[in-house]
Amino acid sequence: MEFEAAVTKKTTLQGGVSWVDAKYSSFPTAPADFVLPITTPNPDNGGFGGTHIAQHSASGNRMPFAPKFSANFSVNQDVPFENGTISLTAAVKYQSKVYFTPDNFYLQNGYALLSSSAKWRPSNGEWDVMVWGENLAGKGAYVLDSATGYGGFGVPVERGQSA
């Protein structure tokens, strides 16, 4: 479900919620990554240690990158001036726990991110200038997590990213 509402001529609200129950009904041969200690023989490369990919039943598991619940909300306020308009936006996004692999081994618990922006557009409207910040609360979260030959590997959400 999504919505957009013009509260006034200069103020708008936007938001949405999503609920998805994405599970495998049957996936008996799903790939599963196993990180082997350096002292364990690895059947994949003939050496020792590293990552071994095997088959594992993922039947009934949640699908990767499919949070059960997600929501977003933003408010935008236009502030007119004699020589242009400044648009101020604040937004929050939430997503519940998400798995990164079919075996549901690697996961990110639910988290919320806060962002904001300010855009100035001159009266002639031919161009604009914008500054923004994402993850302003500095929430530590991952957008990807998996196994490597050296152990776990994660790609974090940027902390306090701005431009």
How confident is the model at residue 92, as a pLDDT? Answer: 96
pLDDT in tens, 89-116: 999 999 999 988 888 888 888 989 999 9
Residue 41 in any domain: the answer is no
Residue 117 in any domain: the answer is yes
Residue 42 in any domain: the answer is no
Q: Which range marks the domain in which residue 92 is found?
A: 2-20+29-36+49-162
Residue 87 in any domain: the answer is yes
The residue type of 54 is A
Contact 51, 36 (CB under 8 A): yes
Residue 118 in any domain: the answer is yes
Top-confidence residue, 14 or 124:
14
Contact 119, 86 (CB under 8 A): yes
pLDDT of 122 over the 90 cut: yes
Report the candidate in 138, 8, 20, 26 with the shortest Cα–Cα distance to residue 79. 8
The total of structural domains in the chain comes to 1
Spatial separation of the C-alpha atoms in residues 25 and 32, rounded to whole Å: 17
Q: What number is the average pLDDT over the span 131-151?
A: 70
Spatial separation of the C-alpha atoms in residues 111 and 135, rounded to whole Å: 11
Cβ atoms within 10 Å of 162's Cβ, excluding its own: 13
Residue 44 in any domain: the answer is no
How confident is the model at residue 138, as a pLDDT? Answer: 77
Backbone angles phi, psi at 37, to 5 degrees: -60, 155
Residue 131 in any domain: the answer is yes
Residue 70 in any domain: the answer is yes
Handedness of CA 113, 114, 120, 125 (dihedral sign): positive
pLDDT of 159 over the 50 cut: no
The proportion of the chain whose per-residue pLDDT surpasses 90, expressed as a percent, equals 50
Contact 84, 122 (CB under 8 A): yes
